[in-house]
Structure 1
């Protein structure tokens, strides 16, 4: 739940970076603003090479007004834990952490560009970074 809360915080900051007047609040308003600026965000991948995992935490954003599955599960567990505790899975946690990593890379861009490849556990395989005044979609093979 803490990871999803951090995603929410960074998503607001990303939206403010796109438009300082942004009033985005909630996953679907974040989706509208972020996808408008970064239309390929749904393709972004995070690799977990130690375990042979490839995570695409924003893949649901290919479709308008669609929340990521891990986000829905988090809200289900947060608001109705006794009914949805079975959704508190490692898979959802890993996707939330991957989503946060991608948003941190997106938000901090050039400040962390040299740090991203050094992670041995989570590796952002594709992401957007700000270089100079331009946003670039990066893919690492």
Structure 2
């Protein structure tokens, strides 16, 4: 359902695009339950008209950022912190960007550690595999000579 809501901005009227929960769910390929969960977690703040939730562009952008943050491995607390910095701080843009950089550095460091752990595990697997193959070859030689 496409709905526009008139809003007064200064002396002129403008129309803001709004969305239903179903529209956002389809657009971002998530369930309405996921959207309601993000609302419960304070990441989205739809307008309420009775039982109906009305999502504005701000909510759409927040949902998009939340989903992107989740793909990048951000926790909901980290996503909430970044959104809160933008919404509530006078220098929100700068603080938000600096915090994003900090979180990205943390994520990159964690990925580097994970990559090193994976490489060490692969070396260990290679070693165990080589020993197993050597043992199998020795068993085959013993059977052949018996």
Q: Tell me if both proteins adopt one fold, taking TM over 0.5 as the criterion.
A: no
Whose Rg is larger? 2
- Relative contact order (C-alpha < 8 Å, sep 6+): which is higher? 1
Q: Which has the higher helix share?
A: 2
